[in-house]
């Protein structure tokens, strides 16, 4: 843990809310970007991040410093996102809403000169996002952490509080499940 994080945590434990505010400012964007991949939309991701910081503040006394503060915070956020997904009922969207529209259209100036490339990429991203939304919260979490965030198995196990073997098993099942979902999507589109 960085000395500055350690100082801010100590000050926050002593009641200095501005010190915790500094930690929030330092990590909120990074945490939001991660949680956005776990949540269906930006609004849910903001809710999860806010709830995670609130829980972290209330539980700051239990932070032992064995891991990085961000790792501890990340674990809280991922567990909060998983809990939120379990509580939500599946929702069918016919058209993407507000901010989701922007998330579908990637901007790649290097490829912009190729006609249709941006449309193909947007379609592929939509298909993957749709397939991800059909996975269980546990499978989605490990898939996002490993394949999109590039985390190591040990780090994932620490964050989710499960053995490395469980992470490997969930990841294997998640990859098989998303592959099957994408194959079914292809069959429906033909």
Where exactly are the structural domains of the chain? 1-88
- pLDDT for residue 107: 47
For residue 35, pLDDT beyond 70: yes
Question: Contact, 74 vs 32, CB < 8 A?
Answer: no
- pLDDT for residue 67: 80
pLDDT in tens, 76-102: 998 888 888 777 655 555 555 555 555
Q: Does domain 1-88 have CATH number 3.40.50.2300?
A: no
CA angle 158, 161, 166 (to 5 degrees): 95
- Structure pTM? 0.57
Query: What does the mean pLDDT of the chain come to?
Result: 82
Say which residues have a Cβ less than 8 Å from residue 82's Cβ, sequence separation at least 6: 38, 137, 138, 141
pLDDT in tens, 6-34: 899 999 999 899 999 999 999 999 899 88
Buried b (16+ CB within 10 A) or exposed e, 35-64: bbbbbbbbebbebbbebbbeebeeebeebe
d(CA 107, CA 59): 40
Question: Contact, 45 vs 36, CB < 8 A?
Answer: yes
Q: Which two tokens stand for residue 95?
A: 């058209």
């Amino acid at each position: 843990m960085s000395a500055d994080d350690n100082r801010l945590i100590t000050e926050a434990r002593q009641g200095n809310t501005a010190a915790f505010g500094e930690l929030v400012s330092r990590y909120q964007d990074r945490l939001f970007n991660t949680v956005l991949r776990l949540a269906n939309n930006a609004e849910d991701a903001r809710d999860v991040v806010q709830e995670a910081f609130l829980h972290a503040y209330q539980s700051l006394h239990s932070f032992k410093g064995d891991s990085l503060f961000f790792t501890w915070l990340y674990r809280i956020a991922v567990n909060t996102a998983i809990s939120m997904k379990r509580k939500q009922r599946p929702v069918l969207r016919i058209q993407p809403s507000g901010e989701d529209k922007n998330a579908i259209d990637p901007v790649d100036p290097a490829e912009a000169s190729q006609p249709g490339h941006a449309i193909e990429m947007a379609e592929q991203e939509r298909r993957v996002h749709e397939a991800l939304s059909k996975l269980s919260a546990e499978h989605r979490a490990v898939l996002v952490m490993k394949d999109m965030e590039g985390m190591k198995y040990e780090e994932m196990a620490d964050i989710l509080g499960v053995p490395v073997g469980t992470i490997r098993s969930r990841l294997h099942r998640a990859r098989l499940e998303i592959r099957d979902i994408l194959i079914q999507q292809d069959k429906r589109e033909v």
